[in-house]
Amino acid sequence: MCSWYRFQASRPIGAGVWSDQVTEFQTNLAWDTLLTVGDGREGPLHAQLAGALRGAIRDGRLPLGSALPPSRTLAQDIGCSRWVVTEAYAQLAAEGYVDARVGSGTRVRSLGRAAADPPPPEASPAWVPRIDLAPGLPDLRAFPLARWISALRSVASSLPYTELGYPDPTGHPRLRQVLAGYLTRVRGAQVDPAHVTVCRGVTDGAGRICRALRAAGIGAVAVEDPGWHRLREAAATAGLRVVPTGVDGHGLRVDDLDRDPAVRAVVVSPTHQFPTGVVLSAGRRGALLDWARRVDGLILEDDYDAEFRYDRRPVGTMQGTDPSRVVLLGSVSKTLSPALGIGWVVTPPAWTGPLRAMAGPSAWPSTLDQLTFAAFLQTGAYDRHLRAIRRRYRLRHDRLVRALAGHLPDARLLGVAAGLHLLVHLDGAVDCADVVARAAASGMRVANLDTYRCRGDAIDPGLVLGYGNLTDGQVDQAVSLLATAVAGSRLGQTA
């Protein structure tokens, strides 16, 4: 006979640690395991059951800490006497595969799992640096978990059962309505909720609009060089030819767009360019809008790091100047967490339908997360969160700038007025790839500026230092390790 049974395992509470007790902070995970017993195999039934359980433990179908079902319940399920199950459990306990404790039931012991073959090398976890200076993450420790859970509980308690079906692929109407009001109020955009589409993030939204561009016959898109590599990858994946366009102290060099007449779309981050940190000047903004009107083109505005400015109020969006020519892209990845997977695209009316036609099979966040974020916006919790973390980032930013001035006085810093990263230009005697490798050897991750360049002919080496997910106590140590890596690289080049 074959039997499916649901086994429960305690949730891991730390690396390599399993709890035998279920506390209020733990939940039980459950899954179905197929046990084959009594199908003509030789030996008594209790030996067959023990063998089936032993095999499930060895091959990992029953992980460490799994709670086996009570003997009476399992006996009823497989149609045998309770004695058969208790004998099988006793045999496994004698062999060290399970451990029976009063009040905790019978659970798989670590000894049994340790006897199994080690996982293959490709299953090993990715390297986690001790100090992470790579850009792209906010302060994950600052996520407002208690307020988020409270908002989620409030939303879930009043959620009609009709909302538990498949999410609206355009985004929940309530979130689109609230987002429209927020972007109009805070970012100076002109937003009609009918033309807001909720997506998984900026890269997802950019990929969709690039596919719509390709379907409309536009074959080339300009991107900032240097710039965020995920956006140019999304454009290339959509089948567009990517045309690198330089950036200087005033932002994107708009005049360069006319060098390629096939370019009728451009991806730009005007409020805080990544990674240089420059703001697109007023003159360049006007010139870029004039270009889009002249070539009947489209501007894809990545509203990157707009919430974090330390020298003045954030600059408003280009979309608010001409919503017929600008697609506005945004997300909560830098303000809350990329794990939420909530982003949005505000499109000109002519592009809303083509964009939505490019949605993938899993191209929307969950309804509960969308409504929780809508509640955050409506109650002012999001604004309060941004004010709090803006102060935190400002203090960390100032500390990092002072530390760099002390340890690397000859370095040239860019992007110091906003955002969650700094661009550190070094002299030509430094091999930044070598610095990155030396930093990694000391347990620290930093990013080479060349990672974000399209062309390899640049002569100014640099590092991009993200401080969003860096703890305040790590700043001085991080800069000291970085200075050591730079010094080692310089010596290596002159040796």
As given in the structure block, the two tokens for residue 460 are 């100014």
pLDDT at 13: 31
Answer whether the bond into residue 275 is a cis peptide, omega within 30°: yes
pLDDT at 462: 93
φ, ψ (nearest 5 deg) of residue 68 = -75, 150
- Are the C-beta atoms of residues 245 and 202 closer than 8 Å to each other? no
Q: What is the spatial distance between Cα 214 and Cα 264, in angstroms, rounded to a whole number?
A: 11
- Nearest in space to 184 (alpha carbons), one of 344, 336, 410: 344
Distance of CA 473 to the CA centre of its chain: 24
Torsion of CA 116, 49, 89, 11, to 10 degrees: 50
Q: Are strands 298-302 and 326-331 parallel, antiparallel or unpaired?
A: parallel
CB neighbourhood size of 15 (10 A): 6
Q: Are strands 298-302 and 263-268 parallel, antiparallel or unpaired?
A: parallel
Using alpha carbons only, what angle is made at residue 45 by residues 43 and 47, rounded to the nearest 5 degrees? Answer: 65
pLDDT at 115: 41
3-state secondary structure of 379: helix
Arithmetic mean of pLDDT over the chain: 85
What pLDDT tens digit does each residue of the chain (495 aa) get?
A: 445 554 444 333 333 333 333 333 333 333 456 666 665 556 788 888 888 888 888 887 888 888 888 888 888 877 888 888 888 888 888 888 888 776 667 888 865 444 444 444 444 446 788 999 989 899 999 999 999 999 999 999 999 999 999 889 999 999 999 999 999 999 999 999 999 999 999 999 999 999 999 999 999 999 999 999 999 999 999 999 999 999 999 999 999 999 999 999 999 999 989 999 899 999 999 999 999 999 999 999 999 887 887 776 778 899 999 999 999 999 999 999 999 999 999 999 999 999 999 986 666 899 999 999 999 999 999 999 999 999 999 999 999 999 999 999 999 998 777 889 999 999 888 899 999 999 999 999 999 999 999 876 556 889 999 999 999 999 999 999 999 999 998 866 654
As given in the structure block, the two tokens for residue 467 are 């401080």
pLDDT tens for residues 126-182? Answer: 678 899 998 989 999 999 999 999 999 999 999 999 999 988 999 999 999 999 999
φ, ψ (nearest 5 deg) of residue 330 = -155, 170
- Nearest in space to 375 (alpha carbons), one of 149, 135, 90, 197: 149
Compute CA distances 140 → 339, 385, 401, 423, whole Å: 10, 13, 21, 22
- Are the C-beta atoms of residues 319 and 188 closer than 8 Å to each other? no
CB neighbourhood size of 2 (10 A): 11
pLDDT at 353: 97
Q: What is the spatial distance between Cα 135 and Cα 356, in angstroms, rounded to a whole number?
A: 30
As given in the structure block, the two tokens for residue 489 are 């690289």
Which residue is it, tokens 């230009």? 425
pLDDT tens for residues 43-87? Answer: 788 888 888 888 888 887 888 888 888 888 888 877 888 888 888
Q: Is 419 left (phi over 0), alpha (psi -120 to 50) or beta?
A: left
pTM of the model: 0.79
φ, ψ (nearest 5 deg) of residue 7 = -105, 145
